A = this chain, B = another copy of it.
Amino acid sequence: MVDKQYVVGIDVGGQTSKIGVVDTRGDVLYQTVIRSDIYGDDAEAFLAALADAVKDCIKASGKEGEIRGVGVGAPNGNYYTGEVAYAPNLAWASKKSVKFAKILSKNLDGIPVTLTNDANAAAMGEMTYGAARGMKNFIMITLGTGVGSGIVIDGNVVYGHDGFAGELGHTTVVRHNGRTCGCGRQGCLEAYCSAIGVARTAREWLEHSDEPSLLREVENITSKDVYEAAREGDKLALSVFEYTGTLLGRSFADFIAFSAPEAIVLFGGLARSKEFLYEPMLKAMNESVLKLWRDKVKIIFSSLKESDAAILGASALAW
């Protein structure tokens, strides 16, 4: 019997979930999207709708009977247990633990389902199809609404004792009067270097200075506003990115002391601000890191097509 040559990748998000059928080269043959936010707390209803959409997607790709497995990236997804537990942005899993992989596999007539969190899925995607192809040791950092991470050591994603390893967004980057993070801790990397953190820095700085800035015209500043102001040459916006990059670089120096990676790989919405983040990040990392790693560890940006990346990452789990 020939091995089945296709897999399904699912990226579960708060608003929508993306589904794609993927071949061994990382080409997405067919993809579709469903809403994730119209099922209230009814996980079973969501998982029934998801299974239907997966079946439709497989049918439309013409690969029925040729699917080896389904890989899922989901916030707070646990690789060991196949559960999604207490995920703040998923109404149907925010107050309980959902046996996601088990139920979805049953709904799909037994196709194996493998689950992990979204940052680990991104790491798998980069390693299988992307910028980290051929690398055995790297750290994936996802800079989105939050800061996630997936750590790869000797070619394997690190899950740890309980399946929750790689929460580098919740390591401490500011120890002295650090901001309160959504998680309840103080001074987390995520409180500074996520999209939300960048907007917060801009708002704080505008409040505590009289410096003129294009951002003074903007209501409810987002990281995108800061990016656009920086592109216009706005000094305050440029300083916000320099600060953000510097904090990221300092954190990377500590991460390197842990696992001595070949590279740090960046992905996510905020990583698109590469032009403003890269230099201060690299500088701070090399200034802060132990001498033996100075100028040796690369910082690279994801090379995956943004629209496919999340699906590819999840699908890589299923091989």
Contacts and interface: CB of A to CB of B under 8 A. Distances in A.
Nearest to A184: B291
Interface string A258-298: 11111000000000000000000000000010111100100
Contacts of A293: 162, 164
A66 B292 CA distance: 39
Contacts of A185: 288, 290
A172 to B, nearest CB: 6
Contacts of A156: 154
Contact of A160 (B137, B170, B250): B137
A255 interface: yes
A174 interface: yes
Contacts of A176: 175-176
Contacts of A167: 257, 260, 290
Contacts of A166: 257-258, 260
A161 B259 CA distance: 8
Copies of this chain, complex-wide, total 2
Interface residues of A, number: 43
A136 interface: yes
A122 interface: no
A183 interface: yes
A153 interface: yes
A168 B151 CA distance: 16
A172 B258 contact: no
Contacts of A319: none
A262 B255 CA distance: 19
A260 B159 contact: yes
Given A172-B250, A254-B171, A260 B292 contact: no
Nearest to A257: B167
A296 B185 CA distance: 17
Contacts of A172: 175, 250, 253-254, 288
Nearest to A166: B258
A103 interface: no
Leading 4 A-B pairs by shortest Cβ distance? A160-B260, A165-B260, A176-B176, A161-B262
